[in-house]
Amino acid sequence: MQVLKIAAFSDGDVGGNPAGVVIENQLPTREEMRSIAADVGYSETVFAAQEGSNWRVRYFSPESEVPFCGHATIALGAALAQKFGDGNFVLNLQDTTISVQGSKKNGKLFAALQSPATSSQPAEKNVVDAALLLFGYQRDDLSSRVQPAIIRAGATHLLLMLNSRKKLAAMNYDLNAGRNFMRKNELVTVSLVFAQSEQLFNVRNPFASGGVFEDPATGAAAAALAGHLRKINWPHGGEIDIIQGEDMGERSLIKAELKSEAQSSIRISGAARLI
């Protein structure tokens, strides 16, 4: 069984978030997929098998299955484009159907996905207090413009917008404590965000729920963030750009494009490179 290794949302020939990609005639068993993902060791490995004219897709971290993973979907779109040529591929996930467009131009791979529907709600005070304690932040480290929220676009995240780039860069936490916190509150990641401007954001995504200290690029959380900004009437101008992984030395670039319709799909795009 061949496992492709592709970094999604790369910054040219560097950075991006590595994902394993397995394309087979039929999906392995759940136990086999978990084992393969653990052996690969990336934050996610995506498994795809053709199902009629669509593709059946599942995502696994080294420790658990996740309902949706943006960077692995971008990696899959790039792999499908490399294997079958440029195209739009319809993906049947566990709970919904989405699509990813893959292309190759001048030897460079690109992909764009349409996310699941978005939703968000205010985060409960006890959840926010526990998160602040976990990361060593104080209430006055939070931005007054965006209140803590539970945000979703195929996966669930806690959004904390910080008022200092320095505080974001200093992010640290205990992995085991983070795992317990995220699993208790059914969070895939915590999305820590600093707004450089109305349309440019620095982001860090601790992913302890999957046994990973931090993701260098998180497409699902990017879609959820964009959906929440739309909901609260943030002046996004129809698109935002996200810089992630910079503090890890794995600078990644994510673009999110959003229509005005509430809860509608977010277009998440970026470059990809073979590892």
Residues 159-182 have pLDDT tens digits of 999 999 999 999 999 999 999 999
**Tokens (6 digits) for 182:** 């995220």
- For range 197-215, the mean pLDDT: 95
Q: Is the pLDDT of residue 1 over 90?
A: no
- For range 76-90, the mean pLDDT: 97
Q: Break the chain into its structural domains and give their ranges.
A: 4-114, 119-269
Q: Are strands 87-92 and 54-60 parallel, antiparallel or unpaired?
A: parallel
Q: CA 147 from chain center: how many Å?
A: 21
User: CA 193, CA 218: separation in Å to the nearest integer?
Assistant: 12
User: CA 70, CA 52: separation in Å to the nearest integer?
Assistant: 23
Residues 178/148, Cβ–Cβ less than 8 Å:
no
Residue type, position 170, single letter: A
pLDDT tens per residue, range 37-66: 999 999 899 999 999 999 999 999 988 898
Residue 261: CB atoms within 10 A of its CB come to: 8
User: CA 268, CA 258: separation in Å to the nearest integer?
Assistant: 9
Residues 254/270, Cβ–Cβ less than 8 Å:
yes
- For range 132-138, the mean pLDDT: 98
**Tokens (6 digits) for 186:** 């059914």
Q: Is the pLDDT of residue 111 over 90?
A: yes
Same fold, 4-114 and 119-269: yes
Q: Is the pLDDT of residue 135 over 90?
A: yes
User: CA 188, CA 10: separation in Å to the nearest integer?
Assistant: 22
DSSP result, 210-262: GTEEEES--HHHHHHHHHHHHHTT---TTEEEEEESGGGT--EEEEEEE-SST
- Please state which of the four CATH numbers 3.40.50.970, 3.10.310.10, 1.20.1560.10, 3.20.20.70 is assigned to the domain occupying 119-269: 3.10.310.10
pLDDT attached to residue 221:
96
User: CA 264, CA 266: separation in Å to the nearest integer?
Assistant: 7
Q: Is the pLDDT of residue 128 over 90?
A: yes
pLDDT tens per residue, range 245-266: 999 999 999 999 999 999 999 9
- Please state which of the four CATH numbers 3.40.50.970, 3.10.310.10, 3.30.1370.160, 3.40.50.800 is assigned to the domain occupying 4-114: 3.10.310.10
**What are the C-alpha distances in Å from 113 to residues 34, 100, 101, 187, 227?**
24, 4, 6, 22, 15
Paired with 109 in beta bridges are 104, 272
- For range 6-31, the mean pLDDT: 96
SS3 133: helix
Q: Is the pLDDT of residue 95 over 90?
A: no
Q: How high does pLDDT run on average in the chain?
A: 96
pLDDT attached to residue 56:
98
